[in-house]
Chain A
Amino acid sequence: MSSESSSQSLARPTEEVTVSVNGEDVTTTVEPRLKLSDFLRDECGKRGVRVGCEHGVCGACTVLVDGRSVKSCLTYAVQVDGSDVVTVEGLASDGDLHPIQDAFHREHALQCGFCTSGFVMATKELLERDPDPDREAIEDGLADNICRCTGYQNIYDAVETAAAELADAERTDGGVSGGADELLHAPSDDLEDRTDGTDGSGGDA
């Protein structure tokens, strides 16, 4: 049953990419078919990028690419050549949780936690776009992420808590640790203009 395999693999096509991952440049050679999710997890060690479906529905793999949330399972690593990618590992600073992470903790907005990275990143984008979302805006903003454990109630609370926290920080000193400053002054690109299947339709894979 063991096959006579040569140790040499068939030459698979590869391309070089340079990606900034949480502020650090990574240059490496990848197969064009390598998903961004696998690139981040396996090549960059960013295991906080979770993979729940690999077809664009669950949102567990959500990361920010140039400030916009993207489903990394629907994106190839070669597509983000030259881009800035932020994963959940890029949020806490000096061991302090980012206000969004802290709010998820305090509001018990996670149980098994497998969806959590994705929700935290989607929340980050949502609050950049709309620092004071009402309930409906939260529901819309997080509609591309599935949580199977929490029933969402505490996630809504966490987003509201995080928004209040960030607004407070903004009022008092224009920023808090954990990147809130950068969060509140993120580039306001036209978010309608998306090509990555994360436009709220649940993806196009």
Chain B
Amino acid sequence: MSEAGVSKDVGVEDDAESEGQSFVGSGLERVEDHRILTGEAEYIHDIAPEGAVHMALARSVHPHAELVDVDTSAAEDHPDCLLTLTADDLKDDYEPMPCGLEGFEEWSLADDRVRFVGEPVVAVVASDRYAAEDLVDLVEIEYEQLDPVTDVQEATEGDTLVHEHAGTNVPDSETLEFGAVDDAFENADNVVETDCEWGRISGVPLETAGVVAQYDTDHDSFHIDSNIQLHTLVDDTVYEPLDYPPEKVNLEVPPDVGGSFGTKIAIHRYCTLSAIASQQLDGTPVKFVEDRVENLQGGDMHCSDREYTVRLAFDDDGTIQGLDTYFADDFGAFPHYPVNQVLKPLSAVTNAYDIDAVRYGYDLVLTNKTAQTAYRGFGVDPHLYALETAVDEAARELGIDPTDFRRVNLIQPDQMPYRLPTHNIYDSGDYPAALDRIEELVDEAEVCEGGLLDPDVVEAKREEGKYRGVSYSVHIEPGVSGSDWTDRQRTETDALEEREREDVDELPEHFRIQLEGDGTVRAFLATDTSGQGHQTLVSQLLADSLGVLPSDIEVDYLPSVEAPTEYGSAASRMAVMLSGATEGAAEKLRENCRQLAAEEVFGCGVEDVAYRDGAVERVDGSERVPLAELADLDAGRNQRLTRVSYDYDHPATKIDDFDEALTSKYPVYPTAAFAANAPIVEVDVTTGEVEILKFYTLRDCGTMLNPTIVEGQAHGGIAQGVGAALMEEFQYDGEGQPKAITLFDYLLPSTKNMPDIEMEHTETPSPFTETGAKGTGEGGMLDAPASVASAITAALEDFDVVADQIPMTPHRVRRRVRDAQADD
């Protein structure tokens, strides 16, 4: 079991304790920091068991080709070679990797055919990574090239199939209708149609994927350390290809993971291959660390790459009557596990607007590119961008101010909780107030003398070809996914009509606590963490509910064989799920402690024992037993009372109004955090460069359990959103070769690109959750791209240019301005 050292250096602890305040709600400094800052944190790259050997991968250089011959003999002749593996070596004893849709066979090493540049073909193992890479150079692969499918148009109109047996490059599509859509479009005064594109991006955490796998010859089982995300949910993606039962394949995560943002959910290929290599080497531990080029070109970690067509039906007074969205998502060579991210936008389908009639259609398209994984927002970010682009176009069509247009359509506070036509429910919030407030903030600080939007300055800048603009908008962050909606695409949709509420697999959050003899409270999460500060959060919550100090608490992670299958740390879940789970577990522990003291110490009834301030005592206060002593007393008992496990039910499963969504497998996200944004941009129409001068944002994620962490999440999310809006993209050339395979080409925001963020918070507690908290792990990444694009559109209003493709690179801006000028 991995154990995280917890620093005792907890800044606000003394204050909170001495004043009897709670730790929850305070900006408790993080318990994770000390070990990281001193270099002692153990990331997967640092795990190196005695005698570990190293794996490297030979990868395809072509996007689409038959494998005519794979010759590993020269590598094998090299004295440093310990093992080589090809698909042929896997096929006798192992199984293909599971896909997100039925009917696709993907081996962890390419079999017969390669389908994207960077697809692993051969694995080699040597004593160190340098030698392993020498061996990769000796592998000879003979290809017969095939035509590559490089975009949605080719995939849907051309003759080449990425998977011949599938008979199509569009293995999944659906059109869902909610409300009277045709009527809305027929009866509305106006209809606009907007096309826009969302570039292929991803989370690109600073730490790449890594694995250390060891086969246990005595027990015929595997131990795999990896920074895989959701190791208690997606462990099937590792044990299935190994062809072993779950209890034989123990996945464990290090306490420190260098970021994931969803992307490391799909690194099972590496886990599988390292485990197989260790088994072939009779249990020698095998380590694999993905390098950055592998990560960017063939790491199965790209995300949404969409072309949208959005239609809005609206009346002359601005009221939106109907929304009709369609997109094609370029999924790459295999429909990997997170196919369901094409559906998540249903949970926030109208964003903050009150719209009754919605049509939602998509095609999931296969091409010769690396496969997709999840990335912070899980497909909602492009949807919000496309919707807001259409809203801007509609306002322009009507000739009214886009902020007024938005205001007219916002969901009103008295409509809360608000039921979307797609059956998800927004819990609480005053969106019009948020919009008013962000406008007021910018007005006061910037639309005045000396401000960024001082009309004189704006005018003077225009003379220089620099156009400033701002856009005010409100965005929803659907939080806290749960239940089994995520396998909708592997379910017979007709059968869903018959489904009963009790058929729903609810996936509660599992959590454990145990008391130690030294008074330490050990807590165990059934999921992993990657920088969100879960150890701090759990320490705060437990300190309050058990009356101890955060420094008395140690937080560990359960390995997959000990934990139930559960959803884990994704989808802005943990603030809500962990707070529910810790409250429940702590309550159970407090009761158990009273029972233990009553039976073993006081010899009285439980009702005469109270749990108070980190100890149990007789209600009259005459005798008191500290927690450490209780742990000792309990040690000899058969049924341990100082060890509790607790399953916290997902909030939506306790609220009848969600039943329809749950049974029909529509995405269920019972918390709606929200943000009102106002980025101020300056577009240089000569160079095409966009600079964000300042990013104003007002954010509300319900009750803030730790405001410092909440703020950090928002900052980081906005930075990723800025990257998505302006810089980041995995482009491919017309031959299917990836153009961004280093961080010189895939541009991440640096100190030079990040604007100052002016942030304000409000707290509208969620009525649906234990603590009033709402999920808030994805926010900025969801709403910043749409907001920045909309501000660019506002800045370029005179040219009638719309930011209809992101990232809005200088080249794309210039081209649009030039075309607009040519049209005049």
Contacts and interface: CB of A to CB of B under 8 A. Distances in A.
A108 B719 contact: no
B205 A112 contact: yes
Given A51-B45, A148-B204, A148-B259, A112 B530 contact: yes
B80 A5 contact: yes
A104 B127 CA distance: 38
B81 interface: yes
B215 to A, nearest CB: 14
A148 B42 CA distance: 19
B181 interface: no
B531 A113 contact: yes
Interface string B711-725: 110011111100000
A62 interface: no
Contacts of A50: 43, 45, 206-207, 258
Residue from the set A92, A143, A148 with the largest chain B CB neighbour count within 10 Å: A148
B639 interface: no
B742 A150 contact: no
A103 to B, nearest CB: 10
Interface stretch (B239-247, B432-440, B469-477, B747-755): B747-755
B131 A9 contact: yes
Chain B interface size range: 35 or more
A156 B756 CA distance: 10
A4 to B, nearest CB: 8
A48 B40 contact: yes
Interface in B728-776: 742-744, 748-752, 754, 756-757
A111 B292 contact: no
Contacts of B752: 139, 143
B82 A113 contact: no
Interface stretch (B30-38, B580-588, B620-628): B30-38
A110 B36 contact: yes
Contacts of A106: 11, 29
Contacts of A2: 82-83, 280-281
Contacts, number: 205
A112 B206 contact: yes
A127 interface: no
Contact of B751 (A41, A48, A112, A142): A142
A10 B751 contact: no
B39 interface: yes
A150 B716 contact: yes
Interface string B4-47: 00000101000000000000000101101110111111110110
A17 B257 CA distance: 33
Given A3-B81, A3-B83, A53-B743, A148 B716 contact: yes
Contacts of B715: 150-154
B206 A58 contact: yes
A28 to B, nearest CB: 15
A113 B41 CA distance: 9
Given A5-B82, A108-B30, A154-B715, A55 B531 contact: no
Nearest to B714: A151
Interface string B95-121: 000000000000000000000000000
A117 interface: yes
B76 interface: yes
B528 to A, nearest CB: 12
B756 to A, nearest CB: 7
Nearest to A139: B751
Nearest to A2: B83
Contacts of A145: 750-751
A152 B48 CA distance: 32
A55 B291 CA distance: 10
A74 interface: no
A89 B89 CA distance: 44
Given A1-B84, A151-B718, A10 B78 contact: yes
Contact of B79 (A8, A31, A108): A8
B38 A104 contact: no
Interface string B333-355: 00000000000000000000000
Given A3-B77, A52-B206, A114 B259 contact: yes
A69 interface: no
A88 B89 contact: no
A87 interface: yes
A157 B33 CA distance: 16
Given A5-B82, A8-B79, 6 more contacts: A33-B130, A47-B45, A112-B530, A113-B32, A139-B751, A151-B717
16 contacts: A5-B78, A55-B742, A57-B743, A88-B39, A92-B38, A104-B37, A105-B29, A110-B37, A112-B257, A113-B36, A114-B258, A116-B36, A120-B37, A145-B750, A146-B206, A153-B754
Interface of B: 9, 11, 27, 29-30, 32-34, 36-43, 45-46, 48, 75-86, 89, 127, 130-131, 203-208, 256-259, 261, 280-281, 291-293, 530-533, 708-709, 711-712, 715-720, 742-744, 748-752, 754, 756-757, 780
